[in-house]
Amino acid sequence: MKLIKKNLENLGENSVKTKNKFIEQTKAKLPIILIFILFAAIISYQDKRFFGHDFKEKAIVKPYIPELPKINDIKQIAKLNLAEIIEQEKGKAQAAILDANGNQIGRVLQTMPLCQDLIGFSSNIPMSVILDMDNMILDILVHKNSETPSFMKRIEDAGLLKAYRGKHTKEAATFAPDTITRATRSSSCMIQSLNRTISNYENIVAKEIQQSKQNRRKYSALSIFLLLALAACFNVGSLAKYRKFWLFLAVLIPGVIFPSLLSADMLYSALVNGISLKKDLFLIILAFCAFFIPLVFNRNFYCVWYCPFGALQELSNKCVSKEYKIKHKYLKYFKHLRISIFILLLCYFLLGFRLNLSEVEPFSIFYIGTTARSVKVIVLVVLLLALFVPRPWCNYICPLGEALEKCRYKKQEGDSGEKRMSVSDIFNIIFVIAIVVVILYLPKDYETGVQQTMPLIETKGAAKTIEPSQPLNQPILNQSQTVTEKITLSNEVTKNIFARKSVREFKGLPVSTDVLYALVKAGSAAPTAMNVKPWRFVIIEHSHLHSLEGIIRPITMNTAGGAIVVCGDLKIAEEGNTLPFWMLDCAIAAQNILLTAESYSLGAVWNSVYPSDERTANLQKILNLPENVVPLCVIPIGYPLGGEKPKEKYDPSKVHLNTY
């Protein structure tokens, strides 16, 4: 009985000690948690966005696109004109058919603009292919065209379109109706258009199925690796004994094969722009584990057991024997370097400046094809240093590693039992002072965001405009300019012209697709020879900019919020007898886009493609452009960092009056 009583007393004492220890650790961590929350709040306030949500509700700016009809019976769609209902979705012209409750019950495929090079007797023959959710063809609608009505009636009577009904898209993609219409050019155009459109859709579906299978394999492997990493972190099954093998797996699975890792740049982007719960669920779980485990259990999980780049450095370090490695007594002088970089970086962001961390953090080396040149150089230098210094990036530079380390509790003890202020405490005080200064400064002067006047955009039944809340950028006037020159800058249009500048590096924030459509609409207002309008535009959203690798600079590709590719349709220009002028028409359209972007306080730059045969061919392949559609230029668009200034280009010596 005495033994049992003693054991119960010991158990109670241990429980109290554990409880007191937990309370002590929680109190110690509370200030740093509050500091991180305050920092996140200030950054969100500066960018006017929090997890992808704008602080202030803005009017939606988008071009006129008719709403999809909400119907309960999918066959009723045949009674409606769908000629203008086009939803751009991953480069394919299609639209979802919704019922009265907003649920998708089918899909419409559009033959245009994919088949704009296919001509019947007189013109294209635009059509809509109506599918159910099983990809069975329910009906085909023929829209307004310039073909001879009697020919089109003959095709209808011959049952050409009825022959497609009830067929699956797999069969219809290569289907050749056995009909004789005596309107062979028109019917041939229709068959080719339908087969190309359906085949294109089938290819996209096949790619999506393949991508879905790859995603399942990817997340299965990553989930297993994450569970094993958690087990190793808590020393389950003595996994720590297999350290070298584990490092190799860390480089291979979440690094090379299925790149899925955290970075300071990714966390900042998630804070401001939000993150997709569906697409990035694994990264959300990973980030939760990375911060929760050190906070609650005081264990360094992410850096030691998961990070692929940390594992790569450690493997490099194991390649050299101890006698060649730099002694610890020399490295101790750099022990405060990482926290110094961390605090300076936080203060830099707090003051309203933005830095594209993807250009300096080495983690993007695992995302093959999107790595900036600067990152490649940094990785090479770090791996060479790692031969002689243990994890140089992790121990002396990594801001993410410092943030995770801040979540852990380390008891500070003095030599004589007195409490001493650590270097970390000093940096925390400096950081808090910086936060206080920024809080006092923000309400008076700081404003961010695109707040320029947007043009009137047509909507169904009404028009809206966004009211200006910030003046247009003021042009540079020097003392040599005359009163006449100053007068030319007095209206808003000329102010905008003189304020335009080329911007090649941006904040990395996505530009709304609605705004990109508005820019294209401005481009379409350009003058054109004989009103032929040979221009064609391809809108590249923020998430698809990586497809432009090799076409635009890496720094531009990695930081822009979107892009517009201005192309010319040579077939249309030739038919309109304006082939020599297609470049002029498209160039003026591009200028309209550049000026409109400036008026929105967006940055943009012209990147030439044509007449370089190599660049033209590469971009045609990337964007799947028809042979007759030639890309003239790419215009990356984004939120500028703010350092660019317009250049003074006016030279009076180049201006002549009445005669040269």
pLDDT at 42 (0 to 100): 72
Please indicate whether residue 33 or residue 630 has the higher confidence score (pLDDT).
630
Question: Distance (Å, rounded) from C-alpha 568 to C-alpha 584?
Answer: 10
Of all residues in the chain, what percent carry a pLDDT higher than 70?
Answer: 71
Q: Do 596 and 525 contact (CB within 8 A), yes or no?
A: no
Give the pLDDT confidence of 167-222 residue by residue, as tens digits.
988 888 888 887 655 557 788 888 888 988 888 888 878 877 887 888 889 899 99
Q: For residue 252, give the DSSP letter.
A: I
DSSP secondary structure string for all residues of 131-150: EETT-BEEEEEE----S-HH
Question: Distance (Å, rounded) from C-alpha 256 to C-alpha 651?
Answer: 54
Question: Distance (Å, rounded) from C-alpha 172 to C-alpha 468?
Answer: 52
**Where on the phi/psi map is residue 626: left (φ > 0), alpha (ψ -120 to 50), or beta?**
beta
pLDDT at 346 (0 to 100): 81
Give the pLDDT confidence of 587-645 residue by residue, as tens digits.
999 999 999 999 888 999 999 999 888 889 889 989 989 989 999 999 999 988 877 78
Please tell me whether the overall predicted TM-score, pTM, comes out greater than 0.95 for this model. no
Give the pLDDT confidence of 500-550 residue by residue, as tens digits.
999 988 888 888 888 899 999 999 999 999 999 999 999 999 888 888 888
Please indicate whether residue 78 or residue 111 has the higher confidence score (pLDDT).
111
Domain 457-638 class?
alpha beta
pLDDT at 434 (0 to 100): 60
Please indicate whether residue 648 or residue 536 has the higher confidence score (pLDDT).
536
Domain boundaries, the chain: 74-207, 234-411+421-443, 457-638
Angle at 370 (CA atoms; ends 368, 372), nearest 5 degrees:
115
Token code pair at residue 51? 């997890």
* SS3 call for 565: strand
Q: Which of 37-41, 88-92, 315-319, 454-458 has the highest mean pLDDT?
A: 315-319
pLDDT at 452 (0 to 100): 38
Place 464 in a pLDDT band, splitting at 50, 70 and 90: very low
pLDDT at 420 (0 to 100): 47
pLDDT at 583 (0 to 100): 94
Please indicate whether residue 43 or residue 304 has the higher confidence score (pLDDT).
304
DSSP secondary structure string for all residues of 97-118: EE-TTS-EEEEEEE-TTTTTT-
pLDDT at 26 (0 to 100): 63
Does residue 88 surpass a pLDDT of 50?
Answer: no
Comparing C-alpha atoms, which of 334, 330, 479 is closest to residue 398?
A: 334
The phi and psi torsions of 69 (rounded to 5 degrees) equal: -70, 135
Instruction: Please state the rounded mean pLDDT for residues 402-412.
Output: 74
